[in-house]
Structure 1
Amino acid sequence: MRTAVTQPVITDSDFLKFREFFYRKTGIYFEDNKRYFVDKRLIDRIEATRADNFRSYFIALRFEADGAELQQLVNAMTVNETYFFREFYQFDCLVRDMLAEVVRHKRPGSRIRIWSIPSSTGEEPYSIAIYLLERWPLIDQYEVEILSSDIDTTVLSAAQRGVYSARSVGQLPKPYLDKYFHRRSDNEFEISRDLVAAVDFSRVNLSDANDTRRFRDIDVIFCRNLLIYFDDLSRRLAAEAMYDALTPGGFVCLGHSESMSRISSLYTVRRFPDAMVYQKPMSGNRS
C-alpha cells in the first residue's frame, strides 16, 4: 500500500498510454501542452481510488466492468466554462433566420427539435429556451423539443439542479432574470422549474455511435467550443454524426473559433445577417 506522503508520478510513457486510451474512449485528444492539466487530474483520481500507482490504476480502469471510474475520470478531465446568452448573436440568428427556414417544411403543430451539445451546466439550452419564449413569435404554433447532452455527468446534474452564480447570469437582461429566476442570495439564482422541465438532458459521447444514433430528425444543433478538443479524425466523425442526426435542411452552429469548412465537405455554409452557420443540404443522405 502506498504511503500517505508519496504522490504518484506520471511518466512520459504513462502520459502517452493514457492519452491514447482517453482519445479512443472520448475522441478528446490532449496535446503535449495539456500535460500539467492531465497529470494533476490523473493523480487526483489515483489517490481517490487508493491505487498504488499509475500502472495499477490504469489496469483497473481498462478492465473495470461497469465503467464507473472511467466516468469519474471523464468528469475530471472535461472543462466546462459558460454563461447565459454567450455568443447570443447565434440565438438571434436562430429566431430570425434558421427557424424561418425550418418551418417552411413543417405544418403548424408539428415538432421542432433543437439539440445542444455539450450542455455543460445548462446555460446554453436554457438560453435557447428563453430566447424562443421571448423572441420567437411562432413559439405557440409548434411543438418545440430542446435536447441537451454532455459526456460529463457532474455538469448534467448541475444543469438539472439549475442554480447559478451572479457571473453566470450577468449577461441576461434584468426583465428575463426577474421572470425566469428566483434569487436565493446575492450570488445564487435558481432557474424556473418550468424551464428545467422543458429541456431533456442526457449523457452522450459524441464519438460513440451507440450514443448518437438515437438522435434523429434534429432541426438545429448547437455544438459550440467542443470540437476544439478533438483531433482531425474525431472532428470529422463528430461532423458526420451530427449530419446523420439532422433532418435535411437542418443547421449546425459552431463556436466562433471553429469552422466546419475545415472539417467536412458535407455541409453548405450559410451566411445570415447575424451569424454564419452550416446546413445539411435538402438532398439528404451523405455518400
Structure 2
Amino acid sequence: MSTITISDDDFEKFREFFYRKTGIQFEPTKRYFVDKRLIERVLATESGNFRNYFMTLRFQASGQELQTLTNLMTVNETYFFREEYQFKCLVDSILPEIIKHKQPGQTIRIWSIPSSSGEEPYSIAIYLLEHWPDIANWDVELISSDIDTDILAKARNGLYSPRSVQHLPLHLLARYFKRQPNGDYQIDDSLRGSVEFTRVNLNEAADTRPYRGIDVIFCRNLLIYFDDLSRAKAAEAFYDALHPGGYICLGHSESMSRITSLFRVRKFPEAIVYQKPEKR
C-alpha cells in the first residue's frame, strides 16, 4: 500500500499548473480522481514523493511525463452516432449552405476535436457516405485532433468494443466493420484512411495556428471541462480556424453565446449551431 500523500497545497499547485498547460480545471470534487492518478505516476516514475515528481513534470525538457499524465487525466467516453441529429444537420442544412460558396471539386474541410478514440470522426465519414448524395462531387478532408496521444493511437487503429457500436444500425455495422474473434469490431481500412488524426492542445496557440480554412468544426462536450477564460480562448482559436461563413457544432448542453459574441446563432430544423460571420 502506497504511503505517498498529496497535500492540499500539492493539489492546488498541481491544479494551477495543469490548468495553465491544458486549460482544464479540476474542481475540488475531482480530488480523489486527481490524487489517485498523481500517486500512480509518482510510483511509476520512482520519484519518491510528489515534490520530486512535480519538478520532473514542470522541467522535463521532452515534456513526455506531462503528456503521459495528460493522457491519464482526460476523459474519453463516447460511441458511434452520438447526438446523431447534428450529423443530419450537417448533411441537410450546413453543407448545402457551404457548397453555395464553393466551386465543384474544391475541398470541404471538417475538423473534429476532441477525437477521443475516433468514434465521432468515423461517424461523420459514415454519415456522409450514407446520407449525402453530393459527396461524389466534393473532396472532403476530415481532420480529428486530441490532446491525448494514447487515445489518438487507438483512434488510428480503429478497433471498437460492442458497446461503442451499439447505436449503429446493423446494416452499417456489416458494411463498415469486420467482427473480430474476441467480439470487437475493426473499422474498414478505407474509412481509417479517410481521417487524419493529429495532436492538438487547444490551450497552445502554436498547436491551433496551422488549422485555417476549416468549413465545419465539431467540438462536442469538451468546453464543459474548461473555465470561462479557457472557453473564450478556445472560441477565439475556433474563430481563427474557420473559413468566413463556417460553422461550429457544440454539445447539446453547451452554448457559444454564453462564451463569446464572435459567432452568429443559426437555428436549423435539426439543431442549433454557430456560424462565423461572412466577410462583408
Q: Distance in 2 between matches of 1:186 and 1:131?
A: 27
Which among 39, 63, 81 is matched to residue 59 of structure 2? 63
Give the 3 Å change call, closer, same or farther, for CA 140–26 of structure 1 in structure 2: same
Counterpart in the other structure of 1:205:
201
Aligned AA (1:119): S
Q: 1:35-72: per-residue Cα shift (whole Å, max 9, x none)?
A: 11111111111111011100000011111000000000
Deviates more, 1:82-91 or 1:39-48: 39-48
Aligned AA (2:221): N
Which among 27, 44, 48 is matched to residue 48 of structure 1? 44
Q: Distance in 2 between matches of 1:250 and 1:206?
A: 19
Runs of 4+ that moved beyond 6 A: none
Give the 3 Å change call, closer, same or farther, for CA 20–109 of structure 1 in structure 2: same
Equivalent position SS for 1:207 = coil
Q: Count how many residue pairs are aligned between Structure 1 and Structure 2.
A: 280
Which among 215, 219, 222 is matched to residue 219 of structure 1? 215
Q: Distance in 1 between matches of 2:127 and 2:168?
A: 11
Q: Distance in 1 between matches of 2:106 and 2:176?
A: 26
Counterpart in the other structure of 2:133:
137
Q: Distance in 1 between matches of 2:104 and 2:40?
A: 52
Counterpart in the other structure of 1:121:
117
What is the deviation of 1:187? 2.9
Equivalent positions of 1:1-287 (< 5 A) are: 5-185=1-181, 187-283=183-279
Equivalent position SS for 2:216 = strand
Q: Distance in 2 between matches of 1:236 and 1:123?
A: 26
Answer yes or no: is the 8 Å Cα contact 1:219–1:250 preserved in 2.
yes
Aligned AA (2:67): Q
What is the deviation of 1:186? 5.9
Equivalent position SS for 1:201 = strand
Q: 1:97-126: per-residue Cα shift (whole Å, max 9, x none)?
A: 000110010011000000000000000000
Structure 2: which 5+ residue stretches go unaligned? none
Q: Distance in 2 between matches of 1:26 and 1:207?
A: 5
Question: TM-score, normalized by length of structure 1?
Answer: 0.96
RMSD in angstroms over aligned alpha carbons?
0.9
Answer yes or no: is the 8 Å Cα contact 1:89–1:274 preserved in 2.
yes
Equivalent position SS for 1:248 = strand
Q: Distance in 2 between matches of 1:46 and 1:70?
A: 12
Answer yes or no: is the 8 Å Cα contact 1:166–1:186 preserved in 2.
no
Identity of counterpart residues, as a percentage? 65
Aligned AA (2:7): T
What is the deviation of 1:7? 2.7
Question: TM-score, normalized by length of structure 2?
Answer: 0.99
Q: Distance in 1 between matches of 2:229 and 2:6?
A: 27
Answer yes or no: is the 8 Å Cα contact 1:111–1:145 preserved in 2.
yes
